[in-house]
Structure 1
């Protein structure tokens, strides 16, 4: 076990009330000891280390200055909240972080009154904080609202919608911009450059103003005035030192050093005592601050497994098979070598989606749009309309944010955008906020959409090829987090016939029809059934849309029961099968049909296997469902009788 750090000053802090009773020197000591405690705890649990180390001083200062939990601190994304949790009466549980039954890795309303708003997706904090502000001004028992948002999160459109609204309302509201010049990947886009310019003293804007003013002077009067107003909105009003944030109605303070308590504390106190309207405080921080291995890492130790504090070496298990993500990335990269029309889009996750391989090989054909899934989807649609073959690689849970664009800009126009849906199904320690539970249902509902799911890494490689060759509309393929099953991947994977599943094992009593990565569990269940004298057919559907109707009706005709199994919510693949059987008379012959899906509730963080056990999707559950469906009530051990 890692030696626990010596933290005599932090030991005096049980709630933020204790911070508010300390002098500034003691608060500085708390910050130093808090950093050591975060490093020690995360070395035992794994988690989001770099982002948490970057806000240690800010966490101490906010709770020392504001009257939390009456005042509401809303952390954007929430993966930087470990110091906050330690300071808010949860230090005794911090080493249960992201473990089954332990603390969430994000803010969570049900966990503590100091977590006023749950978050694990980005760019929501300003909207939520403005909601608290309006509640306060309409008589609700709440104090000031403080949104803490990173430079990566503030690149998303939702943050600007909220700032635009907040500026027009003019209410007292605090936004802390945590600018570490790095989100999960290096930041991209004009906003990153803009913040860097502010930090450097605005010299880039002086040159821009000179150039723009010369251009404007040559325009006719009405056009000249319009051009000047547009420039001023972006660069700030000439002569006033204004910023984009001030043009949106915020008082701007900064940049300040987010690790210097001698700057943080006076600025926060002054803002709290004097503010009458919305205020943005620009804090510059270092991701991974105070821990050399994190500061020296390319991703600043954004997400880590358990590690050795002395060396920073992570204790990741040796992989027996490539991850699904790496199989996708490698296959796409190979296809892009032969087809110059293949391009790829990621929303701030090039390494998380496996596109970093193609990005290194073909940097001009991989586009990181930042935390902007809506834009990314429509951007891909535009490229498809131009004749390119775009792959839009987005985690299932994040694709939800671009769903209107999938409907309106892609499916409605039947544009051949290829959606690579990573992290499908339950994902483990990140919990319900990151689970890929709903993509089957929300994709199969769309006309023109083709939906596939990979049973193993070899099937995934074939589906990448299938998607690359498919030009008759949008196509999506989903696959889970983590390593594959060890399936042998063909050197030259071949495309799959659209709408064609496959028989994996033939029997005659019960048919188990799997969609996606639960196929191996279905095969194990078939083994257990065989030991009980029940013969099971196992099929891999491959497609939820279009369905392999001949395969489904063959299974329905020749078995007593048909069970569908999927790593998705109610309303997905099983619903499609039931709908088809009902409309085609497949249920008229007394066929027993059972659909096994994720339950109609959110499932808390645990290991993926424990989460699927909670969901009722283990081999034992499949066996029990099959026995009940064929009328055998000798239930497997561990399954209670109904």
Structure 2
């Protein structure tokens, strides 16, 4: 006999056979299951704990997957995955070859739309709802679960504006917990707070004004109340909003009290909830902390410096500046397009603007980069965190496209620091004044230097740096991947080692053409190594440079024309030929 209720459930059909009075017990078991797995395997914790009752209620009331359920972002979908056929393999979550940490259409018919970036659920669900109407599927339900931080994004508002004038069977669940990854910000957050305190008056909500049938706010942890309201809304026609109040991290005291840390806490003790003791051994800093601390250092001397981030003050470490110079540092919410143009506007008025955006999220503001910044030569300083392969978050979060999508734009500078000192120095150089916007790209995780906080030095724009001389094969690298290249050279025999050189290009734009001409005249073979897409990336730029002048053999190493899955950075670098061992094998072929 099964030990608990969760053991009896493989798919939602099994869930719907459980008496409703037993669902609170199921919620307790589901929380414990999530906590026990994430404690050892790591992942996103707080968001999934906060929607356990909602997840159960949705699959209990609606006939999924025939009724369509779309999760926004997907941080909160662990319970959904466990209840939709993936309980037995949930321990493989975010591991190479395992299930994705986010809903993914190729993984399950219950994952109706792939997510990972925020604020897409309403648009997707509305598209599905209108498609159902065109096909004559009158009874099919369409539900989008959106957080209070995500619904404030421009794309969500665009979808609300459209949905409000449609006669569709669309239900939006507003999961209001006052936090995304960091606490929610902005006027809409303040409005939701008033609604929570005072209740919603008849026809006095922003959603009623947009022609939605609004109900709530209700306690999202009262499973009977949530089920009753969902059952009622099944029979209400037109676009609807159910406003539920939840607590991120519900059921684990530490996750409730420290919601930012327990969004994705790493390993922790499943019984106590405590994080392991901090490693007091001196380690190189995280690149994000070098950015954050250097920005404070520069801002202390330069009162014109402004810091801006779209909803990632902790992840980007802009929080350091927000704490010390709160009037000069801005979290604009999940609004990358606004962040870019807001930065440009401030820069036109004489301010030195550092705009910190994760590489994968800058994709959402591509037109603003082109039209509002580069076309006008506005010298915003963009710091692209989480560039390159990021690891277990997978395809939606790898920052591998930035070199290719930026290099084709005129009027910009692209710099990739190979270590913490270079990041400090380019920030120092940029804040002294440039004629063009600059994009500074650096990876997730720690650097390589313990004694990193050294006096600033100017960097000459468009200059590469020779790291090792050789005479036959040249490894041409860009940024921290140079460390893999140098390790690969050290794997060679002493006599072979002498024949292989290594140069850190540093700038993808402008290229150091003077040095490149010297290198191509000296070396028979050039191997380009980059932590980005081979198509359109640094290797492509080098081929374009060399082809009119040289017949040198060029081998490009980078991410092939695929969306890389999830796995550790080391596993993925090995898979795509840019680990030190893989580079060594490539060198051997040409030696």
Question: What is the TM-score with the length of structure 1 in the denominator?
Answer: 0.89
SS of 1:282 mapped into structure 2:
strand
Aligned to 2:190: 193
Distance in 2 between residues matched to 1:97 and 1:298, nearest whole Å: 21
Question: How far 1:98 moved relative to its partner?
Answer: 1.3
Question: How far 1:39 moved relative to its partner?
Answer: 1.1
CA spacing shift, 1:7–1:442, aligned 2, 3 Å = farther
SS of 2:216 mapped into structure 1:
strand
SS of 1:352 mapped into structure 2:
helix
Distance in 1 between residues matched to 2:216 and 2:526, nearest whole Å: 64
Bigger Rg, structure 1 or 2: 1
Q: Over residues 428-484 of structure 1, what are the superposed CA-to-partner deviations in whole Å (9 max), with x where a residue is unaligned?
A: 110111000111111111111000001112211112212222321100110100111
Q: Over residues 307-361 of structure 1, what are the superposed CA-to-partner deviations in whole Å (9 max), with x where a residue is unaligned?
A: 1023322248846211111111111110000000010101110010011111111
Aligned to 2:513: 549
Residue 603, structure 1, aligned to residue 568, structure 2: no
Q: How many residues align?
A: 585
Question: How far 1:493 moved relative to its partner?
Answer: 2.0
Q: Over residues 505-557 of structure 1, what are the superposed CA-to-partner deviations in whole Å (9 max), with x where a residue is unaligned?
A: 11111111111110111111222344462511111111000001111111101
Question: How far 1:491 moved relative to its partner?
Answer: 2.0
> Could you tell me whether the CA contact under 8 Å between 2:283 and 2:450 is conserved in 1?
no
Q: Over residues 242-290 of structure 1, what are the superposed CA-to-partner deviations in whole Å (9 max), with x where a residue is unaligned?
A: 3111111210010010000121011000101x22101100000000111
Task: Give unmatched runs, 5+ long, in structure 1.
Answer: 1-5, 204-238, 633-642
> Could you tell me whether the CA contact under 8 Å between 1:385 and 1:415 is conserved in 2?
yes
> Could you tell me whether the CA contact under 8 Å between 1:69 and 1:114 is conserved in 2?
yes
Residue 148, structure 1, aligned to residue 145, structure 2: yes
Aligned to 1:66: 62
> Could you tell me whether the CA contact under 8 Å between 1:457 and 1:487 is conserved in 2?
no
Distance in 1 between residues matched to 2:93 and 2:136, nearest whole Å: 32
Q: Given the alignment, which residue of 250, 253, 260 partners 1:289? A: 250
Aligned to 2:532: 568
Aligned to 2:175: 178
Distance in 2 between residues matched to 1:598 and 1:624, nearest whole Å: 17
Aligned to 1:158: 155
Q: Given the alignment, which residue of 83, 106, 123 partners 1:127? A: 123
Aligned to 2:433: 470
> Could you tell me whether the CA contact under 8 Å between 2:94 and 2:101 is conserved in 1?
yes
Distance in 2 between residues matched to 1:153 and 1:431, nearest whole Å: 20
SS of 1:419 mapped into structure 2:
strand
Question: How far 1:144 moved relative to its partner?
Answer: 1.5
Residue 442, structure 1, aligned to residue 442, structure 2: no
Aligned to 1:43: 39
Residue 455, structure 1, aligned to residue 411, structure 2: no
> Could you tell me whether the CA contact under 8 Å between 1:349 and 1:368 is conserved in 2?
yes
Q: Given the alignment, which residue of 472, 482, 496 partners 2:459? A: 496
SS of 1:393 mapped into structure 2:
strand
Distance in 1 between residues matched to 2:3 and 2:479, nearest whole Å: 49
Matches within 5 A, 1:501-512: 501-512=464-475
Aligned to 2:484: 521
Distance in 2 between residues matched to 1:331 and 1:413, nearest whole Å: 28
Q: Given the alignment, which residue of 356, 381, 397 partners 2:319? A: 356
CA spacing shift, 1:317–1:93, aligned 2, 3 Å = farther
Residue 485, structure 1, aligned to residue 485, structure 2: no
Aligned to 2:217: 255
Distance in 2 between residues matched to 1:439 and 1:550, nearest whole Å: 25
> Could you tell me whether the CA contact under 8 Å between 2:285 and 2:450 is conserved in 1?
no
SS of 2:315 mapped into structure 1:
coil
Moved more, 131-140 or 416-425: 131-140
Aligned to 1:212: none
> Could you tell me whether the CA contact under 8 Å between 2:203 and 2:209 is conserved in 1?
no
Aligned to 2:553: 592
Distance in 2 between residues matched to 1:543 and 1:391, nearest whole Å: 19
> Could you tell me whether the CA contact under 8 Å between 1:288 and 1:300 is conserved in 2?
no
Q: Over residues 75-120 of structure 1, what are the superposed CA-to-partner deviations in whole Å (9 max), with x where a residue is unaligned?
A: 0000101111111111111222112222211111111111111100
SS of 2:104 mapped into structure 1:
coil
Distance in 1 between residues matched to 2:424 and 2:302, nearest whole Å: 16
Aligned to 1:341: 304
Distance in 1 between residues matched to 2:427 and 2:3, nearest whole Å: 52
Distance in 2 between residues matched to 1:564 and 1:154, nearest whole Å: 42
Distance in 1 between residues matched to 2:33 and 2:271, nearest whole Å: 14
Aligned to 1:265: 227
Q: Over residues 14-49 of structure 1, what are the superposed CA-to-partner deviations in whole Å (9 max), with x where a residue is unaligned?
A: 211122122221122211211111111111111111
> Could you tell me whether the CA contact under 8 Å between 2:42 and 2:267 is conserved in 1?
yes
> Pairwise CA RMSD of aligned residues?
1.7
> Could you tell me whether the CA contact under 8 Å between 1:420 and 1:478 is conserved in 2?
yes
Q: Given the alignment, which residue of 27, 33, 38 partners 1:31? A: 27
> Could you tell me whether the CA contact under 8 Å between 1:65 and 1:269 is conserved in 2?
yes
Moved more, 322-331 or 613-622: 613-622
Distance in 1 between residues matched to 2:475 and 2:523, nearest whole Å: 10
Distance in 2 between residues matched to 1:265 and 1:610, nearest whole Å: 43
